[in-house]
Copies of this chain bind each other. A is one copy, B any other.
Amino acid sequence: MTGDISEKSSLQCAQPLMYTEERENESFKQRLTEQKQSEESVRVCSPPWRKFFLWHLGEDWVLLILLGIIPATMSWAMDFGIEFFLHSTIWLYEKAHSNVFLQYLAWVSIPVVLISFAAGFTYLVGPQAAGSGIPEMKAIAKGVDVKDHLSLNTLVAKIVGLTCALGSGMPLGKESPFVHIGGICAAQLSRFAAFLGKVKQSESQTVELVISGCAVGLACCFGSPAGGVLYSVEVASTFFMVRNYWKGFFAASISAFVFRFLPVCSGSFETITPLFKTWFRQDHPYELMELLSFCVLGILSGLAGALFVFINGVMVRFIRSQRPISQFLVKTRVLYPALVTLVIATLTFPPGFGQFMAGELTQKETLYALFDNYTWSKHLQEEHFDPSDHSVAWKHPHVNVFGTLAISFIMKFFMSAVAISMPVPCGAFVPAFVIGAYLGRLVGEVAAVVLPEGIHHNGTIFTPVPGSYAVAGAAAMSGAATHTVSTALIVFELTGQINYIFPLILSVIVANIVAQTLQPSLYDCLIRIRKLPYPTELTWGHHEGPSIQVEDFMVKDVKYITLTSTYKDLHKILFARQFKSLPLVKSAESMILLGSIECVQLRALLSQHLSRARRLEYLRDCAQNERKHTSTPTSEDGNQKDIQEVSAGGFSTTHSFSSAPVKRPPVRGFQDSDITLKSLLCSHSIVEGLEDDADVEDTMTKKEILEWEEQQLEDKVNFNDCKIDPASIQLLERTSLQKVHSILTLMSLDQLYVTSVGKLIGVVSRRELRKAFEGSVKIRGPITHPPMSTFRESKTRCRNTNTPEATELHSLLGSESSLDQPAESEEK
C-alpha cells in the first residue's frame, strides 16, 4: 500500500501457484493482502516519535507506570461523580422538607433512575460489565479467556455504570469492579503497545500484566499498594510468578500514590493521608484478654460471611432460574434493579425505618463513624455533638445504641446481599466490609461494657476501643466473604494504623477458617453458578470424576512440513492460515516429530530462496555457462515486450513459457500490482540485507523472474540453516486436561504437540484448551477450592494422589493397539 515495497517484480509472481487452483484465487489474494496489511501495521513505523514508542513503550516499566496512573485517575474522577450524585439526592431530600411524601419521592427517585440507567447502559454497551468481574478475572488469571471481558466497551460500561450505581447510594462496592477495570486497562495497554510497534506480547505476558492490573485496581481504590499486591496473589490462586510480584508492587505503589496525591493537587486535602484514617491510641492498643473477644468477633464474622455468600447465591440462583417470575425480571432487565432499589431506598428513608439504621449516611460517612474513637454507649448519651460527628445518626430516643447497631447490621446485611445481585457493575467487597464494621462495632460496644478496665502501673485506665473492633470486623468479614487474608493488610493501609496487627490477624484467620469450612468464597460461588470455564487445580483435583484427556480436544488435522517438503509446499502452508510455528516431521508417512520451526524462519527461508541475490547468482552461473558453451544470443527484447503486455493487461491468458498453457480469467479487485511474493514474505531488513551485494546486472525480465521463481519453488527445502526447536515437551494422547493446562500456563507456552510413539497426532493450543474447559464446565460445573482446603484435605490428598490419572490396562491397551495401526502403515 505504501511506497516502501520493491517495485522490481509484479504481482504475477503469485500466479504460478494459482493457475492450478483457479477457484482458490480470490481467497488466496485476499489472504495475501490481509497478511500484508497486518504485517505493515506492525512493522512500518516511519515517524521518529513512533520509533521512540517502539523503543520504549513496549518496555515493561513504561507500561507499568501508565498502568499505575490511568486507573488511579479514573478512580479519582469517578469519586467526583459519585459524590455529585449522592449530594444531589441529599440536596433534593432536604429541599423537600415541607412534605414527607415529597421527601420520600426525592429520596427514592434519584437512586431508582440512576440504577435503572446503570442497568440499561450496562446491558446496551457492555453486558459483560455487570457484577463485580472478579470471578471472571480469576478465570482469566488462570489462562482462560472469558469472552469480551477485557474489551473497551466493557470498560466504558463499567465506568459509567459503576459511577451511577454507586451514586445511587445503594450498598454496593467500588473496589471489585475496579479490580476488573485495572485488568481491562492492563489488557488494553498491552494491545496498545503491540499496536504502536512492539512485537505482540505472548498470551502469558498479557495475563501477567492483567494480574498486575488487578493489584492496581485494588490499590487505587483503597490507597493500599501492599494489600493490593497480596490480594492479586490470592486471586491468581494456584501459583504465582515472583517476577509478577515485582511488577505488581511497582504499578500498585504508583497507583496508590497517584490516587492519594490527586486530591492533594485538587486542594481537597492538605497532604497525603490514608482513606479512613483512625486515631486509636498507640501506647497500649489492647489488653491481652481482648484477644479472646477478637477471636469471638472472628467466629461471628466467619459465620456472617458464610451466610452472606449463601444469601447472595440464593438470590443469584433465583434470578437465573427458569421460573416465570424470574424470567420476566430478566426480560425486562431494568425492572429487577429498579424494584430492589425502590425497596432498599424505602427501607433507608430517614424519617421512616431509616431512623433506626442511620439511613441518611453514605457508606463513607458510615465507615468514618464506625471507625471513630468514641465508645458510643457513653458518647451518645451526651447532649451536643460536633457537626462532623456522624455517630449521632445511631442515637434514637427510644432504642439504645445496641439496638440501633443490631438493626443496622441486620438490615445492611440483607440489603447488601440482595443489592449485589443486581445486574449493574458493583462489588461485594465494600458491602461486606461495612457489614463487618457494624458487627465489629457491636461486639466492641459490648466488650467495652462487659470487659473490665485495665489499670496500669502509671495509673492510666485502658478500656477496650470499640472502633478497633469495627476495623477488625471489617477486615474479618470481607476476608471471610472473599476467602482472603490480605484484607488485614488492606485495612492497615486504609486506616494508617498497624498497631492492632495481632488481634486483627487473629480475627481474619479465625473468620477465614470458619467461612471456608462452611461456604465457597463469594467469587467461587459465582464461578459455579455462572459455570465459568475455570481450570481445576492440578494438585488436589485428581480424584474428582473422569478427566478429559487431550485426545478429546486436540486438533487432529495438523499442518506440518516434512524433511522432503518443497518450497512450494512451504508457501502453501504458510499462507493457508496464520501459524506461529509449524511442526517438522520426518516424512508424511512416518509422521515422526522432529521439532518445530517458527514461521518467521520459514518465511525468511522462502524469501531467501527467492531473493534477488540468489537470482543474480543464478544469472552469474548462467552467464558463466553461456561463456563456456558460447551459445546463441537470446531474444531478450522480444521477451521484455511480451512481459510488458502481460503486466499492462493485468493477468494474461496465455504463457509462452508454459508447455501446457492453462486458460485463466482476468481477476478483478486486485490493483496492487507491485506486490511480489518476496516482499510479502519477509521483513524488510532481510530483503535489504540480501539485496546489497549486486555485482551482476539484473537483466531478467519479469516473466523470466516468474519462471525462475516457479522453478525455485519446486526445490526441496534446505533446513540446514534453520533453528529447530526440538519440541522437547510432548504430550501423549492420554494427558488430562488439567495437566495440559498446567504445562501450558506454567511453562508459558503457546502450543504443545501431541505424539503417540513419536508420531505427531495432534496439536493443542490455548484455544483448544479454553474450549475444552468450557465443555467440561458444561458437564460437571466448575470446581473451585477454598485456599485453606490444603489444610483439611491433606489426608484425602495423600490417599488419592497415589494414582494420578490412572487408567485400566485394557483401555490403555485398546488405545495402544489402535495406535499401532499407523505404525504398521509406516512399515509398509
Give a binary string over A780-823; 1 marks a CB under 8 Å from any B CB, 0 the rest: 00000001101100110010001111111110110010000000
- Can you list, as one digit per residue, whether each of A569-595 has a CB less than 8 Å from chain B (1) or not (0)? 000000000000000001000001011
Residues of B within 8 A of A757 (CB): 592, 757-758
A489–B226 CB distance below 8 A: yes
Minimum distance in angstroms from A73 CB to a CB of chain B: 17
Does A105 touch B at the CB level, under 8 Å?
Answer: no
Q: How large is the interface on A (under 10, 10 to 19, 20 to 34, 35 or more residues)?
A: 35 or more
- A493:B502 contact, CB within 8 angstroms: no
Set of chain B residues within 8 Å of A199, measured between Cβ atoms? 798
Collect the chain B residues with CB atoms within 8 Å of residue A80's CB: none
Docked complex Cα distance between A732 and B724 (Å): 14
Q: Does A225 contact B816, Cβ atoms closer than 8 Å?
A: no
Which segment, of A13-21, A22-30, A740-748, faces chain B? A740-748
Closest to A538 in B: B747
Interchain Cβ contacts under 8 Å between A and B, 6 examples = A60-B794, A239-B239, A243-B787, A496-B501, A722-B809, A729-B735
Whether B726 and A805, one on each chain, are in contact in the complex, defined by CB atoms closer than 8 angstroms, is yes
Contacts of A247 in B (CB 8 A): 790-791
Contact A492 B502 (CB under 8 A): no
Q: Which segment of A270-278, A302-310, A608-616 sits at the interface? A: A270-278
Give the number of copies in the complex: 2
Q: Is A59 an interface residue (CB 8 A)?
A: yes
Task: Encode A519-562 as 1/0 by CB contact (under 8 A) with B.
Answer: 00000000000000000001100000000001000000000000
Q: Known contacts being A239-B241, A253-B505, A502-B272, is A731 close to B731, with CB within 8 Å? A: no
A488 on the B face (CB < 8 A): yes
A457 within 8 A of B: yes
A734 close to chain B: CB less than 8 A = yes
Kindly supply a per-residue 1/0 record for chain A positions 220-246, scoring 1 wherever the CB is within 8 Å of any chain B CB and 0 otherwise: 000001100010011011111111011
Chain B residues, CB < 8 A from A505: 225, 253, 257
Residue of B nearest to A754 (CB): B728
Contact call A729/B739, Cβ cutoff below 8 A: yes
Cross-interface CB contact of A245 among B60, B234, B719, B747, cutoff 8 Å:
B234
CB A753 to nearest CB in B, in angstroms, measures: 11
Whether A58 is near chain B, meaning CB under 8 Å from some CB there, is yes
The reply on A700 being an interface residue by CB < 8 A is no
Asked whether any CB of chain B lies closer than 8 Å to the CB of A723, the reply is yes
Interface positions, chain A 742-793, Cβ under 8 Å from B, are 742-743, 746-748, 755-759, 787-788, 790-791
Q: How long is the Cα–Cα vector from A233 to B246 in the complex, in angstroms? A: 11
B253 touches A233 (CB 8 A): no
Residue A600 is within 8 A (CB to CB) of chain B in the complex: yes
Residues from chain B with a CB closer than 8 A to the CB of A539 are 241, 243, 748
Which of chain B's residues have a CB closer than 8 A to the CB of A257? 502, 505-506
Are B736 and A728 interface neighbours, CB within 8 A? yes
Query: Bound state CA distance, A723 and B279, in angstroms?
Result: 63
- A681 in the interface (beta carbon within 8 A): no
Q: With a 10 A CB-CB cut-off, give which of A791, A807, A809 has the most chain B CB atoms.
A: A809
Min CB gap A390→B, angstroms: 20
Determine how close the nearest CB of chain B comes to the CB of A525; give it in whole angstroms. 19
Question: A242 touching B242 by the CB < 8 A rule?
Answer: no
Shortest Cβ distance from residue A563 to the other chain B in the assembled complex, whole angstroms: 8
Determine, out of A31-39, A283-291, A348-356, the stretch whose residues face the partner at the interface.
A283-291
Asked whether B253 lies within 8 Å of A509 as measured between CB atoms, the reply is: yes
Shortest Cβ distance from A272 into B: residue: B502
Contact of A726 among B598, B734, B802 (CB under 8 A): B734
- Whether A595 pairs with B492 at a CB distance below 8 angstroms is no
Which residues 467-505 of A sit at the B interface, judged by CB distance below 8 A?
A: 485, 488-489, 492-493, 496-499, 501-502, 505
- Cα distance A220–B497 in the bound complex, in angstroms: 21
CB-CB under 8 A from A794, the residues of chain B are 58-60
Within 8 Å of chain B (Cβ to Cβ): is A456? yes
Nearest 6 pairs of A and B residues by beta carbon: A757-B758, A723-B806, A728-B735, A726-B734, A719-B809, A498-B498
B-chain residues with CB within 8 Å of residue A226 when the two chains form the complex: 226, 230, 488-489
Knowing A59-B795, A242-B240, A790-B247, say if A812 contacts B732 (CB, 8 Å).
no
Determine whether the beta carbon of B243 is less than 8 Å from that of A790: yes
CA distance A723 to B542 in the complex (A): 14
Q: Is B726 a contact of A812 with CB atoms below 8 Å?
A: yes
Is there contact, CB below 8 Å, between B808 and A723? yes
Complex Cα gap A469–B107 (Å)? 50
B residues in contact with A240, CB < 8 Å: 233, 239-242, 245
